[in-house]
Amino acid sequence: MPSPSMMLTRAGEFRKVYRALKRKPALFQQTPIVFCEGDSWFSTPAAMNLLDWLVYPSAADNARGVPVFGRGGSFFRTEHSGDLAVDIFSTKATRRLVDWFEGFEFDLVLLSAGGNDFVDDFLKALFQGDSAMSVNQAIAKVRQSGRYEEVRQAYLRLIKAFKAARPGVPIVAHTYDYPVKLGEAGGLTLANIGAVALIKNTIGPWIGNHIRHVLPLVPDQQAFARQLIDGFVSSVLEPLRNEHGDVFDYVDLRGTLSRRELWFDEMHPTSAGFHALAKVFAAELKRKLDFHLG
């Protein structure tokens, strides 16, 4: 029989279920305890997001008995849409996360952070008052801003703190995929976002609207977005894996979603898009979890 997973967003709920599991040692030993922190790719209500597909697998996956890496699981979820890595992995915020992390026997840590650090207000301020330039010149401005290093240091702070609190627990992040709908907002309905749709009609954009005065052509905006994400990988995720590969790794999701219909808006896939990404993500996570749980 499939083992159901549990989506627990409130700390009190998680603590209650965790304690119930501890009272049943056999069940506790076979139930992964997963710590989740991040941004809208883990939390957006406009679609079944990346984390939702891991917590709540499709009916077909469930029928085959392979929900949540094939084991079921209990998820501590503390992610929020719009969060920046430099904020959620700040010194103060990291101390709060460590308090939770060291208080429970987590088997796996999932992170989704860094995308928001390079868009919206960051791009608006970076290119304010600039005239047209090449894609390479625009990317050079991003690199010269020091933002990649700020995000790397934020990640590093969390990794070191978690390693010290519970050595050996795998920490897995992910890349973002290359956006297709540059400058396009996502339409909101009661079906995909609930009552908020009555007072807010769209979400986004966060990239195209801030760079079109320096990169007027959409293909150039797309090339800029791709290089922005590649820089996040080469300057943040890859160095972290090289330095802390004993616990830290990332799953490369770039190039998975090339069709427009798989994107809800400029930065977020549709439910079908997130499902396609989740298949790639889950395959690697299952290997990590199987190794850690033995």
DSSP the chain: ----EEEE-SHHHHHHHHHHHHTSHHHHHTS-EEEEEESHHHH-TTS--HHHHHHS--HHHHHTT--HHHH-EEEEE---TT--HHHHTSHHHHHHHHHHHTTTT-SEEEEE-SSGGGSTHHHHHHTTT-----HHHHHHHHHHTTHHHHHHHHHHHHHHHHHHHSTT--EEEEPPPPPSSTTPPEE--HHHHGGGGGT--EE--SSHHHHTTT--SHHHHHHHHHHHHHHHIIIIIHHHHHHHTTTEEEE--TTS--SGGGBSSSS-B-HHHHHHHHHHHHHHHHHHHHHHH-
Averaged confidence pLDDT in the chain: 86
- Nearest in space to 287 (alpha carbons), one of 32, 67, 34, 69: 69
Mean local confidence (pLDDT), 142-170: 97
Q: What is the pLDDT of residue 201?
A: 45
What pLDDT score was predicted for residue 199? 38
Structural domains of the chain, with CATH: 5-118+147-179+233-293 (3.40.50.1110)
Report pLDDT digits (tens) over 211-244. Answer: 999 999 999 999 999 999 999 999 999 999 999 9
And the tokens for 20?
């119930």
Q: What is the pLDDT of residues 118-144, one digit of tens each?
A: 999 999 999 999 999 999 999 999 999
The residue assigned the tokens 């890595």 is 85
pLDDT at 245 over 70: yes
Is residue 84 very low, low, confident or very high in pLDDT (cuts 50, 70, 90)? very high
* Mean of pLDDT values over 23-48: 88
Q: Distance between CA atoms of 21 and 77, rounded to whole angstroms? A: 17
Reported confidence tier of residue 67, pLDDT bands at 50, 70, 90: very low
Binning pLDDT at 50, 70 and 90, where does residue 293 land?
very low
pLDDT of 208 reads: 95
In this predicted structure, the answer to whether residue 8 has a pLDDT above a threshold of 80 is no
Contact 220, 135 (CB under 8 A): yes
Give the residue, 284 or 36, on which the prediction is more confident.
Answer: 36
Most confident of 10-19, 21-30, 45-54, 159-168: 159-168
